[in-house]
Amino acid sequence: MKLIDMDEHWEIPLPTPEEFKPTDGNLVDFLCGMEWVGQYLKSIPAVDPVLAAGACYCKECRHFEHREEEEGVSWTGYCKYGEHHTDEGDFCSRGSRREHEKEE
């Protein structure tokens, strides 16, 4: 299963005659149309459920502090907000994205 942004993709474009070739059978036309819509929906990029829920990943958060690798330690960082070890791929609803520094 994947999440898609239906607000962005609400209007499904009609297939061109080259993509959809109707026949005399209504059922066949219907099934071809459904297959085309299915293929179109599969081509839409997925929405990240973490970001859609308003959370942010630790690697993007201003509270995340990257830590150097230590032998025998699996954590890649520390959360200053929650005061616990965490990984870059973890996430929470209390995070806030850090502002990207301007590149000079």
CA distances from 94 to 44, 63, 77, 78, 91 (A): 29, 10, 16, 14, 9
Q: Position of tokens 């990207």?
A: 100
pLDDT, residue 36, reads 78
List pLDDT tens digits, range 34-73: 787 778 778 888 888 888 888 889 989 999 988 887 777 7
In the predicted structure, residue 89 carries a pLDDT above the cut 80 = yes
What is the model's pLDDT at position 25?
60
What is the percent of the chain with per-residue pLDDT over 70, rounded to a whole number? 71
Residue in this structure with the two tokens 């959360």, named with its chain if needed = 79
Residue 85 in this model has a pLDDT that exceeds 80: yes
pTM of the model: 0.54
Report d(CA 48, CA 56) in Å as an integer. 10
- Whether 101 shows a pLDDT value over 80: the answer reads no
- 6-to-58, 71, 90 alpha-carbon distances in Å: 27, 46, 26
- Cβ-contact 58, 93 below 8 angstroms: no
Q: How many residues in total does the chain contain?
A: 104
